[in-house]
Amino acid sequence: MRSDILIIGGGIVGSSIAYYLALRGRSGDIIVVEPDPTYALAATPRGNGGIRQLFSLPENIAMARYGLSFFRQFETEMAVDGDPVPIGFRRQGYLFISDRGGDRQMEQNFRLQIANEVRADCLDREALHARFPSLCTDDVALAVHSPDDAWIDPYAALQGFRRKARSLGVRYVTDKVVDWQGDGRLAKRATLASGETVDADIHVLAAGAWSADIGAMIGLKLPVEPMARETHFFLPAVETEPLPFIKTESHLAFRPEGRGFAGGMPDWSVSAGWNFDASADGFEKIVWPAVAHRVPALETLKLERTWVGHYARNTLDLSAIIGAWTGGIENVYMAVGFSGHGIMHAPAAGRAVAELIADGGFQTLDLSRFGWSRVPNAQPYGEQGIV
């Protein structure tokens, strides 16, 4: 097979890149290689779908803001043949809680968020209690509430991107890249598990937590590794006021989901590797006590389900790497290492990579600080405070 552009990995990031390139009229020339059209093990359907502007890096704020506006219109904008694509866009806000001594950082981030036109409120203990009476605020130094933030059903959004990209002419090949070759100067060809090959002028790596293994095939050494993270879905016994997506410095992260809640407590220090087994007592010993502490009304609840997904953890700085492999093989582009932010940042990342390829440079958001060069230069560009 031959194409102008080969995209390796058809998750939400690869599919967003394909969609934005197709919008530029490049559709007939794009092949996305994705082994699993059901995305059973991919991060996207296992993610929590949160979209928030509460970041400390201006680029992350801007990307999330674009994601918010994009996903708000998704249902109609991504319709194919007039068939809408509901993704459960729910604008119910985010709440960051300082409960581990990081209040000065959170306040500093808040000022930056306000300066970047994020609608957010900085709440002391009393104000927090007045706004969300079911929260325990005893140990809270400060909180930041962003009412415009939201969440979506990420699987529906992924399938929506994919369907739209295909309707614009992008070709998805159900296969797996097992080798990736170049001549030292340019990438030339990917070999697939079926034995087929794809030759392309431009190669884009967007394979989430699998990216480092694939990059290694062509000599690209990515600081990206799979980090297992559990999510639990639980039903409360009593109702609370509508709660936002809550994230605390002590790593609790959960949000309303249907009649219940979904979330967990990522362990950022967990060793790298694939592990889809849910722990026997992680919910009971760690997550439930933390939830019940923060929202005492959730002391009584029923655990319905636990699943594990994998962050593509960028060990340099937990931020995405977006752009060309500068100083390496320059017809190779990447959008990898999104850690816990790849759903909300997928629209902006897709648009950015399409601009780099089609226009030769960023046109809307300048994401050069997320570029590859910070890896060889060992210059982290990461979030301060809650990641």
Ligand X SMILES: Cc1cc2nc3c(=O)[nH]c(=O)nc-3n(C[C@H](O)[C@H](O)[C@H](O)COP(=O)(O)OP(=O)(O)OC[C@H]3O[C@@H](n4cnc5c(N)ncnc54)[C@H](O)[C@@H]3O)c2cc1C
- Contact between 333 and ligand X by CB under 6 A: the answer reads no
Closest distance of CB 14 from ligand X, Å: 5
- Contact between 252 and ligand X by CB under 6 A: the answer reads no
Other CB atoms within 10 Å distance of the CB of residue 57: 18
Contact string 166-205 vs ligand X (x = CB under 6 A): ----------xx----------------------------
Q: What are phi and psi of 305, to 5 degrees?
A: -160, 145
Pick the binder of ligand X from 146, 231, 248, 331 (CB under 6 A): 231
Closest distance of CB 189 from ligand X, Å: 14
Q: Segment 13-32, which members bind ligand X (CB under 6 A)?
A: 13-14
Question: What is the full DSSP assignment across 281-298?
Answer: SHIIIIIHHHHHHHSGGG
Task: Compute CA 228 distance to the chain's CA centroid, rounded to the nearest angstrom.
Answer: 14
Decide: helix, strand or coil at residue 62.
Answer: helix
Stretch that binds ligand X, among 120-128, 162-170, 209-217, 287-295 (CB under 6 A): 209-217
- Contact between 9 and ligand X by CB under 6 A: the answer reads yes
CB neighbours of 75 closer than 8 A, spacing ≥ 6? 84, 85, 86, 87, 89
Distance CA 257, CA 261 (A): 5
Pick the binder of ligand X from 26, 49, 287, 288 (CB under 6 A): 49
- Output the six-digit token pair for 121: 């409120």
- Output the six-digit token pair for 293: 């502490």
- Contact between 309 and ligand X by CB under 6 A: the answer reads yes
CB neighbours of 173 closer than 8 A, spacing ≥ 6? 1, 31, 32, 33, 34, 192, 196, 198
Stretch that binds ligand X, among 8-16, 21-29, 104-112, 271-279 (CB under 6 A): 8-16
Q: Which is nearer to ligand X, 206 or 324 (CB)?
A: 206
Distance CA 281, CA 324 (A): 43
Closest distance of CB 257 from ligand X, Å: 11
* Among 268, 263, 306, 305, residue whose Cα is nearest residue 386: 268
Alpha-helical runs (H) found in 198-241: 211-216
- Contact between 210 and ligand X by CB under 6 A: the answer reads yes
Pick the binder of ligand X from 214, 222, 348, 352 (CB under 6 A): 214
CB neighbours of 235 closer than 8 A, spacing ≥ 6? 259, 260, 301, 302, 304
Closest distance of CB 115 from ligand X, Å: 23
- Contact between 340 and ligand X by CB under 6 A: the answer reads yes
- Contact between 341 and ligand X by CB under 6 A: the answer reads yes
Q: Where does this chain bind ligand X (CB under 6 A)?
A: 8-14, 33-36, 39, 42-44, 46-50, 176-177, 206-210, 214, 229, 231, 309-311, 338, 340-344
